[in-house]
Amino acid sequence: THDIDEVAKSDYVIAMDGGHVAITGTPKEVFKDPEKLKKMKLDVPFSLKLSEELQACGLHVSSHITQEGLVEELCQLHSSM
């Protein structure tokens, strides 16, 4: 699939580039190298981008590759305020 959000929910990922296996691993492992993905014209999930932006703004959240994980953590943070 080319649906990055679907890839994030997978058990294991095999990314092809030019007909060859370029990256393999769990989604978390694959999304650790956004530069390599960018060279392959692939992207990281929006939830990972948003997690990193929130971290850059000083919010202490984990890096999430799924929307559900990020929403759950943000709700927990909000309820503890």
Predicted model pTM: 0.81
Give tens-digit pLDDT for 20-64.
999 999 999 999 988 899 899 999 999 999 999 999 999 999 999
At 2 the pLDDT is 83
Distances in Å between the Cα of 46 and the Cα atoms of 18, 31, 81 are 25, 11, 25
